[in-house]
């Protein structure tokens, strides 16, 4: 794992109201035959092809690895850079509280071999009927740039994560408490690095030291942390729904933007 620097970023989440998600309504145009979707996000048109991650379990380009069961006490899911922590807000949808498996998909081909291409939270073991970019409620976003790029999040430390919203707030407090006690410390180097090193050979398809299942000391829930492909970038989040509008999959993608750039 490359050395990680910590950018201390924390919005005052106590001062913003996080409302319950509204009743499901499809926000995109679906081309299910070609596995493509078109979605309007803050007057910007986003188009994406979901064929590569539509059925990851059976995609032979990746090694499927169970990183652990994630406990979601509130059912509100955060996906963000675990050190930079920008846009650490819940998605516009929520699921029933409980424990759900998180899978990492390790590249097996070409120059992506050994790196995390996708992370997937499985709510129900079925292939989604519809896919959309997973958005954060607009009222939680700071400015027009965040609203126009909603559905994506910045990674500046080469690491991402899935967590429950309440668990992540406890994790952020844990980081603040650490720096109160260790003015010259580095949270990643002093707390997380050795945990990543323990997974240097797990799974064997991985480049190593690329994930941990972390439980903040004062939290009931846990955080699944994982490497973001080739590192820093602006990465998308996708949510998959069944025919009735129930969330069945949540995916973050670290490979497709690189593939589009190369072409």
The answer to the question of residue 200 being in a domain is: yes
The answer to the question of residue 5 being in a domain is: no
Per the DSSP assignment, residues forming a β-bridge with 252 are 119, 237
The answer to the question of residue 3 being in a domain is: no
pTM of the model: 0.89
Peptide bond before residue 209 is cis, with ω within 30 degrees of 0: no
Confidence of residue 110 (pLDDT cuts 50, 70, 90): confident
DSSP state of 1: -
The answer to the question of residue 252 being in a domain is: yes
| Domain with 163 in it | 42-262
Q: How many CB atoms lie under 10 A from the CB of residue 142?
A: 10
The answer to the question of residue 22 being in a domain is: no
CB 165 within 8 A of CB 95: no
Residue 220 CA to chain centroid, in angstroms? Answer: 20
Report the number of distinct structural domains present in the chain: 1
Q: Are strands 247-253 and 28-31 parallel, antiparallel or unpaired?
A: unpaired
The answer to the question of residue 237 being in a domain is: yes
CA-CA distance, 141 to 92, in Å (whole number)? 12
The answer to the question of residue 26 being in a domain is: no
Share of the chain above pLDDT 70, in %: 88
pLDDT in tens, 136-159: 999 999 999 999 999 999 999 999
| pLDDT reading at 262 higher than 50 | no
CB 70 within 8 A of CB 162: yes
Residues 6+ apart with CB under 8 A from 182: 190
The answer to the question of residue 8 being in a domain is: no
| pLDDT reading at 236 higher than 70 | yes
Per the DSSP assignment, residues forming a β-bridge with 7 are none
Residue with the larger pLDDT of the pair 228 and 110: 228
Q: How many CB atoms lie under 10 A from the CB of residue 9?
A: 15
Looking at residue 112, its pLDDT comes to: 93
| pLDDT reading at 108 higher than 50 | yes
Burial of 116 (0-12, 13-18, 19+ CB in 10 A): buried
Looking at residue 111, its pLDDT comes to: 84
Looking at residue 86, its pLDDT comes to: 85
Share of the chain above pLDDT 90, in %: 84
């Amino acid at each position: 794992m490359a050395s990680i620097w910590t950018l201390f970023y924390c919005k005052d989440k106590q001062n913003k109201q996080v409302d319950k998600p509204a009743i499901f309504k499809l926000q995109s145009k679906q081309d299910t035959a070609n596995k493509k979707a078109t979605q309007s996000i803050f007057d910007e048109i986003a188009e994406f092809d979901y064929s590569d991650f539509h059925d990851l379990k059976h995609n032979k380009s990746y090694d499927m690895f169970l990183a652990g069961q994630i406990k979601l006490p509130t059912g509100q899911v955060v996906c963000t850079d675990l050190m930079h922590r920008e846009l650490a807000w819940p998605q516009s949808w929520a699921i029933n509280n409980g424990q759900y498996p998180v899978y990492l998909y390790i590249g097996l081909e070409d120059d992506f071999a050994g790196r995390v291409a996708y992370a997937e939270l499985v709510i129900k073991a079925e292939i989604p009927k519809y896919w959309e970019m997973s958005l954060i409620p607009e009222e939680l976003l700071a400015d027009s740039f965040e609203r126009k790029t909603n559905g994506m999040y910045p990674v500046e430390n080469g690491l991402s994560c899935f967590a429950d919203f309440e668990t992540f707030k406890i994790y952020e407090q844990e980081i603040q408490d650490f720096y109160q006690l260790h003015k010259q410390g580095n949270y990643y180097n002093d707390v997380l690095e050795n945990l990543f090193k323990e997974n240097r050979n797990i799974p064997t398809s991985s480049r190593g030291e690329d994930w941990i299942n972390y439980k903040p000391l004062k939290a009931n829930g846990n955080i699944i942390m994982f490497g973001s492909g080739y590192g820093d970038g602006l990465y998308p989040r996708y949510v998959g729904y069944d025919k009735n509008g129930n969330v069945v999959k949540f995916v973050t993608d670290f490979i497709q933007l690189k593939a589009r750039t190369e072409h």
